Structure formats: C-alpha cells, structure tokens
Amino acid sequence: MKTSRLLAVLVGGVFCLAVMSLYRMLELMQGAELQQHRETPVGRMDDGLSHLQQKIDKLERLLSDNNRLVATLRDSLLHRKASWGTGGGGGNVSSDSAHSRAETLPGCRLAEEMKDRTDRVQLLDVYDLLAFDNPDGGAWKQGFEIRYQGNEWDEQPLELFLVPHSHNDPGWLKTFDRYYQDQTKHILDNMLIKLTEDSRRKMIWAEISYFSKWWDDIDEQKREMVKRLVGAGQLELVTGGWVMADEANSHYFALLDQLIEGHQWMQRHLGVKPSSGWAVDPFGHSPSMTYLLKGAGLRDMVIQRVHYAVKKHFAQQQTLEFLWRQSWDSSPRSDITCHMMPFYSYDVPHTCGPHPAVCCQFDFHRLPGGRVFCPWRIPPRPITEQNVQERALLLLDQYRQKSRLFRSPVLLVPLGDDFRFVESSEWDAQFTNYQKLFDYFDQHPELHIKARFGTLSDYFKALHRHVDAAGRSLPTLSGDFFTYADRDDHYWSGYFTSRPFYKRLDRVLEAALRASEILFSLMLAEMRRFRGDGRLVADFPAREHFRRLTAGRRSLALFQHHDAVTGTARDPVVVDYGTRLFHSILNLRQVLQSSAHWLLLLDKSEFHHNQSKPLLQMDDVIAAQDALPQKTSLELSDEPRSLIVFNPTEQLRTSVVSVVIDSPDARVVDAETGRPMAAQISAVWAEPSRASTEAFQLDFVAELPPLSLVVYHVTKASVGSAYRAQYTFHRRGNPPTVQTEHFQVSRPQGPEAGAPLSLSNKHVQIWSSPETGLLQKLRLQSGLVRQIQVQFLWYGTRTRRNQDKSGAYLFLPEDEGAQLYSSSEPPLVRVSRGPVFSEITSCFRHFTHRVRLYHLDGHAGKSLEISNTVDIRSEVNRELTMRLISSVASGNRFYTDLNGFQIQQRRTLSKLPLQANFYPMSSASFLQDSVSRMSLLSAQSQAVASLRPGELEVVLDRRLQQDDNRGLGQGVTDNKLTASLFHLLLEDRKGGAQEVGGASVEHLSLLAHLTSLSLCHPPITMVAPSDSRLPKLRPFLPLRSSLPCDVHLLNLRTLEDAKEADVPSQEVALLLHRKGFDCSSAPEPPLQCTWSMHEEVNLDDLFSPLQFRAVRRSGLTLLREDDEPESAQQQQPPRIARLRPMEISAFRVEIN
C-alpha cells in the first residue's frame, strides 16, 4: 500500500514538474517568436544594422539551444512518467518487467507477431510451406491440369476483358531516344488512328516518360483527340509513373518522385489521375510500391513476375486476387486490390490460358508471313466464317480453364508484349480477328460468355461489383515477392548488384536532387519575403534553375526503370543512362550554388548571377559519367578562404568535413564566432605507400544546425601548428618503403608486429588482424563484446557444358559456393591515428578496404565507417563479396530493408539453392539475438544474404562474360573502379527484446535511422574564391531546432505554376515521413533531437521560425483532387497534423 502511495506522490510530482517545464518552454518559444517577428528586416538592410543583426541572431540561437534543452527534459520526464505509470500500476508486476518497460522509448514500435492478430496470409509462412519441388505440370509446365464441368457459368456468365497493351522499356537493348524514334512514336501515332476508328477498341499505356515526349511532338488537334479517347475510357493511362519502376534496388524517395513527376504531368496535360497500377515486368515486387500507389490514390494493381512456385500455390488456393496490406499496419487503411497474373509471362502465349501452344494461335501479330512466329509451330489463322466456331471454342476452353484459378467469373486477359502495335497492320490483325470472335460469343448465349476489349479500370470495376454482390471479401496478404525465379533454380538475385557503379551514382543524384529541392524552395520563400511583394529578384535565374530541377527529377525517374537501376541494359544504353545522371548532378550543383549564394549574402543587392563564374564552387569534380569524384585542391594563404557547408538533413549534426588543401598546416574557424574547430591533417596517398607532396587532406569537426548553410574560414597556419595524423605500416614478410615528407611513420618491430591492431573512441573499440587489417572484434562502452570478422570471397559461375551461367539477371554460382579471397602478395596495411578520426586501410590487389572510427561525442561516433574501392576488371566470371561473421546468435533469420522504407524479415532456407537466399538491400540489413543487434547500413543498393547464423554478406561487384538467356544478349563486362560505403552499428538490446516468433515486424533503431540519414545525405561543401573583395556572407539558419528524431523531411519540392509552364509556383510539396523505430535499444547518452508518443504534431512549431501562409493535406503525388476540402483546412496557426508511425504525409504549403 505504502509503495503505491509513494508511487502516486512521485508520479504527481513528476507530472507537476513536466507541466511547469512545458509552460516554461511555451513561454520561451512565444518570446522567441515575438523576438523573431521584431527582428525580421523589412526591405533592404542598412549596413549600419548588420552588426546588431548578427548579435541578435546569436542571441536567437542561444534561445533555441535553451528550447532544445527544455524539450529534451520535457520528453524525458514524460517518458519516465509513462514508464512509471505502466510499471507501477499493479502489485503483481515483476521488477524485471517494470525495468524493461522503463527502458522503452516513447513513440517506438514494439516488435510485433503478426500471425495471431489477423487471418491475413504471410508470404514468409507460404515460403515455409512450399516444397519448391517443381514437378512437370503438363501443358502448364509450372502448374497443374485445370478441369471444369462446363456448367460453372450457367448462372453467372464469364465476363472477359481483353486488355491491349504494349510494354515499352524506356531503354534496354536500345536507348530511350532510339526506342522512341524506332518504335514508341509509331505505336502512339497508330493508337490515335486505330482507337478512333471503332469505339469498342481499348488500350492501356504505362510509361509517362514516353507519352510526354510524344505529346510534345504532336499538334493541338491530335492532343484534343487524345483527351477525347481518355475521356471516353478507350485509352487508360495506368500507374502513371514516369517509368515502370524496379522495386528491388530503387529507394522510396526516387520511387515516389517518379510517381509525382508522372501524375503531375497527367493532371496538367490531361486533367486525369490513374486508378490502377500495372507492373508486369519488374523482377519481383515490393509492398513499398503498393504503399506509394495507395497513397497516390490508386485502388487496384496488377503484378506478374512472382516465383513460379508461389504462383502455383496461389492458383491452387484461388488467391491470385488479394488485398495487399503493409506488414506493419493492422488496419485495412493501406490495403490495395492486387491481381497476380498466373502464368510464365505477360506475352500472349502466356495470358489467354494455361496452354501456350494454343494461346499463341490467338496472337494475330504472328500470322504466317510476318517477322514473329509461334515457337510451338502451330501458327495463328485469320478468323473466317468457316473457322470461327472451331477457333472460338478452342479459345473459350482456355478462358474457362484460366477462370477456374479465380474466385469470380470476371476474367482479365492482357493482349500485348514488348513494343507491340508498331505497325498499322498489327492493329488491324489483332482488333479485327478478336472482334469476330467476340461477335460469335455474343451470337451464342448458350456459351455463357460476354467478351470485349477493356482497360484495367473496366476489369476492376466489374471485379469489385461481383465481389460486393457475393458479399465476400478478397483474402488479405502481407509480405514481398522476392527473390523471383522464372524457372528451375534460376533466381534473379544477380541484378540486385549488377553495375554497382551506377547503383551508387543513382543515390548520389538522389541526394543532390533532394538537397537542391529543399534549398531552392527555402531560397524562393526567403526571396519573396525579402522583396515583400511575393515576387522574385529580377537577376536571379529562377526559371532556368527550375528547369534544371525538372530535368534532374526526370533523369532520376528514368533511371528507376526496371532495366536501368537494375544494371540489365546493354552497354551503350548504360552509358546513355550514366550520361543523363552525370549531367543532372552537374546541373543541380548550379542550383545549389546559386541558391546558397543568394541566401548567404548579407547585402542582397550584391547578388549578380554569372553562370560561367559562380561565386561558390563545389569542393570536388566529377570528370565523366564513369569516374569517381575527385577533391579539388584549395590554395591557402594568410587571407581566410571561405568554406560553405550545407546540412541537407532536418537534424542538428556533428559531422566531419573533409577538403583537400595545398599546405600541411591549416587552421579552421567558424566565420561568425571566430571559434577554432577541431581539425587534423592527413596525407593524400598517390599510391598505397607514397604520399603526395602537393596535396593534403584537412578534416574538421563541424556543428551543423538543421538545413543550415554555415560558413567556415580556412587559413594557412604556422608550421607544425596543425595536428597531423600519425601512420603505422604493416606488411607480412615484406616491409614497404614509405615515401612521405610531412608525416610521422612507424613500422612495428618484434612482438608488436604480431599484435592485433586496435582503434578506439569513447563509444567503441575494435581489433583487427595485423596481417590483413580486416576487422576481428568489436566492444561497446557498455561492455558488450562481439566477434565480428570481415572476410572477402569470390563466387564463380557454373562451369559444366550446357549449364546455364550467371549473367546480368541471374546468380548461378558453382556448387561449392564461395572461395575465400587470397592473394599472392600480402596486403599493405596502413593505420592512421588522429584527433578527428582514426582508420585502418588494407590495400589488396582487387580492392582497397577502409575501416574508420570518428572521435565524435554524438551518434556519429558510435558506428564504424566501412568503405571499399573495388576493381575486378582483370577477372573472368567472378563476383566479389564482403562477409561479416559475428557471434550474434541470429538463427536462420535476418532482416533487410525494402526500398529504404520498411524492414522485412528474411529466413534462410536450406531447401532453397544458395542464390535464392540472397535478397535486395537498399539501405539496411541487420542480425539480432536477445541481447544485441548488428546493423549494416548502406549508401547504395546491393544483394545481401545470411547463409549461416551470425553471418551477413553483401555482393560488391560482378563480372560475367556471358548472356544469361533473358533477352539482353550480352554479359556484364563494363566494370568500373567502384566505391561502396557502409556504416556498421552494434547495439545492446534492452527491455522487451525477447525473441518474437513467426513473421514479426521489426524496425531500425532510432540510432540506426539517424546514422542512415547521415550516410545517405552527407554535408555538401562549397568553396568561395580566395578574393579579399568577397561580399560579406552570413550563415543561413532556417529552423530554430531539429525536427523530432523520428520525423524525416523527405522533400520540400517546389511545384510548377498552374498557368505557366517551367515556372516555379508559390506552392511547395512538403513530404514528411514518420519512421517506425525499434523499442529495444535506447541510445546512451540520449540523442539531441526529441520524439513523442503522440501522432499529432504542430507543423508551425516543427518548422519555426518558417511560417506557412497555407497548409493543405494532399495525396502523395499532390494531385489537386486529392487535396483535403477547403472546409477541413486549418487557416490559422497552430496547424495540427496527424503523422502516424511508418506513414508518409504530403502537404501543399505556401511558405510565408
């Protein structure tokens, strides 16, 4: 009794303290806001006030630091209150249980067992169930014999929709432009003529990249015809994405961005929005894509490339149509109706029914005399009065067999293939012959079939009508459809890594685009506020920059195509994609440089745009589309050289900024306060043991407020005044000759030479092999120790004659699996130690591997940075992997991210071949047991596996001499010098970390989310000229404090003006993603950002001192018809928005 009273008093006391803290915080914030309003300059600033302005800004930042401190205190008190309230509620709660609950972070997501909460099907459980034995199914080789009585349709006739389509890859065997000129243009030209000839004809089209290019080529009269066809329902644009995106390697930022680009184009030019998704060629399917489609307003979707054993199982269960739900969602909010095509392919032989030799006879493009024929050697025949009955009944038999795989009498039959309907004659052959068959069905009601041309919307409307009338609902399913196999043991896990150079470049462009979007939007808002009349400064090239942003969006969007980011296009096409990515990065840098220039100027009247000689330059140069970036060497003198660092993240961060300078002695200060920054000088290694005498690496610790531009001054310093890194070299049996003038070098002798190499900071200690430099063990400050051994391995491919071999798509390794990497020469191992970072670099023949520890207080010091530079151009049919072997007791389970959006549990199954146990990893993978978690965070996508407990391996590059018979017609031999970057994070797991059975839903920890954010969005460094006449620059600090730890600013994307093309509007798309994070690891010491268990957030507080003139919630692609109604709009602050964990929220805002 006394205990409960004491607890009540304690809780009451803490509650009062929390309320007082909240009250004080609000008071401070109100005061700060008033201060902000008073300080806002009106019109142009007077030079005499600039000094006072700086003082006030400094005071404002001190206030914001105070606010952050109070907010942290508040949340920690609320957290304690919640914990005590939970733990002390009943007399029978054990102390262990109370302790574990007290450790739980507010707002986190507990690992959940999904199996018992709902009757939904979990794909993980389906994989456990299936034998994967692949017996011969007869005519439907991968299926089974389908039987029917013939009277099944007597009461409800078969309702058939034949959906004409052409699958147009925006680049594969030819470039995007070549395909457009040779095929796509003619398809769309003929579509206009042939659909207009007969109102019963229909067609669907998916790729807006092609459709928009064609639209630009046609005249106004033809555009009106297109609008009429769309309005009449004869032409339907499906999915509405810029491309039919890959769903394995693409990051969710880019997946959503290409949807926005396509949907915005459709709205602007056609006034329509898509309602159905069509993904018939991506090599496996992700629920992240379905989440984005549902959020963009789509209700239904079609998928095709699913493992043949899964298709067969679903067909047997009649569950090929289902509601696809997010694993983490217990409500039906995220459900989307999905139709899985049952057979091998989306071509005509595999879509009318189970017998391809029969279906091929109804692909009238293959009539004798043409270029395309039926491989089963029974050609199609034109439909005549003499043969129509026999032909119609043969086709009807296929339709009926296919229909038995579904629960409703509504049947979808696609009619098309790659680049179909190019010639006018094909349109006539297909539409005329099918119309004769349909007419015959209509004339014979005893056949009980109503057949017609249709679109996806036609089909799904009929399906929903039947399902609703029957009073049934479709089954619910969760999970993903990786890894795909189309036949035998041919698993498509090779493309998870193919062309890794471009997979990395994809993410470099993505980061550059997001940074440019945000800075450009902030700059426009600031410029309008500065002018006071809502207009832009005349000399600023806003329109040109908006065009560059649009081109950047479209280059990134095009590269999400399922033959681009996948690495499965021909060599010249890859060069074309690479050139587009490269030019877009260069163009976006111009947007960043100009925007930063204007924002940093103290006197805005000094702004002059000079494209040939911008005020700010990037600190590195990318020489070509296939080259890695190289740092530019900065010339230092006694005059301060200005460095501008942009933090593109929404969090205050401590980052190490690295530049190359021409002097071994330098000093860095914060330009505003004059405070010196911790720095170290390291060698630039021209060769593994030869240091450059002209260039030196300067690394300094920068404190970067969220979304800020901060100015630093670098000057030449007196000799020996800067801390220089110290080096130790190791090489077994052959000590290297080291050439360096400016750095202290030692070579260990005697017992010291054989001792493990060790590095440590205040969070982590690591031990590595003195012979290879590769990691062996890791210990946390908490005392947790884990063996974590790094190995490199080679995979070969199958060698026996007539055996299929690995190629761009397929991974078909030798039976013996991987071989440990060995080299005739022992590696050179270089250890560097300094106050900012210490690192171990291992120089092998085919790769350079580096492990770095940062000596930082914040979360940046808790992970290990791992980078590899790989060159396997000398190899034949080999794949290089990096494997981590740990003592984490993970069993056969591991976790990978899907598109950087969510985490999917994986199970390594011995009944599957080795290549089937590799999965895509866009940005994260982890292993865990009840007391620890090891996370590998990645800056690029690649294949990952956990072939044995405690192991995690990633494929770094693949070089394959032959085609793998999937249509590409070549191997993968265009390898480059390729960089890959990772962070390795070991964490304690605390309260509530017991193992969860079944298909559990897990999340990254808060620390892993923030580490991944820093890894994917590094600070951007720009350099001002070494000129004493440089205009006065002042830092730009748009936010008073960080966003909550679990709220990610996905984008701040300026929208196009509704009336004038290529002109930025005052409206901005604000996209926020509230991350789900794991409860079992609370970072110590607590993070600087705050978080909350509440779903409602105050947007005005979140972005203070930025002010929104208008805020309107919308769909994920910002279509006007998806905007919330005017009546629901919150016109005045505070504007409260609901941000649910895991969900992305989109708002149409005007920044005041």
Q: Beta-carbon neighbour count of residue 1035 at 10 Å?
A: 22
Q: Would you give the distance in Å from CA 268 to the centre of its chain? A: 26
Nearest to 7 by CA among 106, 105, 99, 84: 84
Distances (CA, A) of 712 to 297, 396, 675: 46, 75, 10
| DSSP codes, 1115-1130 | -TT--GGGSPPGGG--
Angle at 854 between CA 1091 and CA 675, to 5 degrees: 80
CA atoms within 13 A on the CB side of 215: 15
Distances (CA, A) of 629 to 586, 619, 641: 12, 10, 22
Are residues 1007 and 1081 in contact, defined by beta-carbon separation less than 8 angstroms? yes
Are residues 1011 and 618 in contact, defined by beta-carbon separation less than 8 angstroms? no
Q: Provide the phi-psi class of 532: left if phi over 0, else alpha when psi is between -120 and 50, else beta.
A: left
Are residues 610 and 638 in contact, defined by beta-carbon separation less than 8 angstroms? no
Helices (H) then strands (E): counts for the chain: 21, 52
Take residue 634 and report the two structure tokens written for it.
């900065």
Residue with tokens 């009498």: 409
List the catalytic residues. 281
Helices (H), 532-673: 542-559, 571-600
Rounded Cα gap, residues 490 and 913, in angstroms: 10
Rounded Cα gap, residues 410 and 476, in angstroms: 19
Instruction: Annotate 746-774 with b (16+ C-beta within 10 A) or e (fewer).
Output: eebeeeeeeeebebebebbbbbbbbbbbb
Rounded Cα gap, residues 1121 and 1071, in angstroms: 17
Q: Beta-carbon neighbour count of residue 628 at 10 Å?
A: 16
Helices (H), 651-769: 751-754
**Which residues are CB-contacts of 1036 (< 8 A; sequence separation ≥ 6)?**
522, 526, 596, 599, 600, 708, 709
Beta bridge partners of 761: none
Strand, helix or coil for residue 332: helix
Sign of the Cα torsion 904, 908, 909, 912 reads positive
Sign of the Cα torsion 254, 257, 263, 266 reads negative
Strand, helix or coil for residue 478: strand
DSSP state of 67: H
Rounded Cα gap, residues 451 and 704, in angstroms: 64
Q: Provide the phi-psi class of 850: left if phi over 0, else alpha when psi is between -120 and 50, else beta.
A: beta
**Which residues are CB-contacts of 611 (< 8 A; sequence separation ≥ 6)?**
541, 590
Angle between helices 287-295 and 252-270 (to 10 degrees): 30
- Asked if omega into 104 is within 30° of 0 (cis), the reply is no
- Phi first, then psi, for residue 732 (nearest 5°) are -65, 125
Rounded Cα gap, residues 1121 and 1139, in angstroms: 21
DSSP state of 578: H
